[in-house]
Amino acid sequence: MTKEIDKSNLKQIILNFPQQFLEGVKVAKNIKIKGDFNKVIVCGMGGSALGGDILATYLEKELPVWVIRNYELPPKTDKKSLIFISSYSGNTEEPLSVYQEARKRKLVIVGFCSGGRLEKLCLKNKIPLVKYRKEVPPRYGLGFSFSSMVAILINIGLIKDKSKEILDSAEYLKKINLDQELKGKGLAKELINKIPLIYASERYKALAYNWKTKFNENSKITAFYNIFPELDHNELAVYTTQDQSQKLFKWKELFSILILKSSDDHSRILKKINLTTEIIREKGGKIIILSLQGRNFLEKTFSNILLSDWTSYCLALAYGIDPTPVRIIEELKEKLKT
């Protein structure tokens, strides 16, 4: 039954995900760039930008990393900015627009893609290029993009060598992958016919956003996310038991709330998570706490990403939906060409 629904065999792609880290390091190892850089600007959309989000948190004490999901470079871009143009397909118009601007401004660029227009432009203009194998949907190229970006920064000498930590994390993911699949199946059962709301700390906001987008693209359902502590200053007001409010907005029936919680979150954030959970449960709300597992930031981050992959995948199967195609997004892209 699974194969009848999952026609592109996304299950195998998720199982193979840990292997991407080794390949990402390998394809970037010979790329060396000269320049005096004090920041990195990652330009991408969707899954191609997520690697930049994780990179920004991972290197927060070593190197400023800005992530741009737009058509233009930010105002503070200067000659000391290293520009990473990330587009798994190589055809995403926003990073391609930034590429053209960066070229005009004679900034140092590195391209990250599996082919498409970006590859052609990089080869034509002799721009350093990290090329991945074109075998997965763009949202599943995260291991390639993250590890290759780190490898290049190591080559340049902008950061200390983190190769062992990355490869050790990949081994950790291999060990827990089947366990995450089982957890994902269980979570999917709890989320059927619900709108997921995903909450996390500012430190792990990329994970909350990733859950939202995986539910959107894989499960084809609406999902939302928000961040502590900000959500406790506004969104918490939604969870009321006032009769008039319940007639207008039956949040208990609509939502299941996933809270991502990590032991390295700020102590006040952890207290707010605990109190918020207590308040919402007292009002009758459904909350699932997902504690981040792992020995360090990378293991916690990517093990949680694996869990989101399996949960959204299993939820798609439960709805009888092929998780891979995103036809309506492709339709929009085609219309934008005219």
pLDDT tens digits for range 173-215: 999 999 999 999 999 999 999 999 999 999 999 999 999 999 9
Domain residue limits, the chain: 2-161, 176-318
pLDDT of residue 151: 96
pLDDT of residue 320: 96
CB 6 within 8 A of CB 295: no
pLDDT of residue 1: 60
What backbone torsions phi and psi does residue 200 show, to the nearest 5 degrees?
Answer: -155, 170
**Rounded CA separation 317/269 (Å):** 35
pLDDT of residue 230: 97
Q: Does domain 2-161 have CATH number 3.40.50.10490?
A: yes
**33 pLDDT higher than 60:** yes
Q: Which of 48-57, 183-192, 234-243, 252-261 has the lowest mean pLDDT?
A: 234-243
Question: Facing residues of 86 across strands?
Answer: 112
Q: Which CATH class is domain 176-318?
A: alpha beta
Determine what percent of the chain is predicted with pLDDT higher than 90. Answer: 84
pLDDT of residue 242: 59
Please compute the mean of the pLDDT values over residues 64-77 and round it to a whole number. Answer: 96
What pTM did the predictor assign? 0.94
**Rounded CA separation 90/76 (Å):** 26
**Rounded CA separation 186/67 (Å):** 34
Across the chain, what does the average pLDDT equal?
94
**305 pLDDT higher than 90:** yes
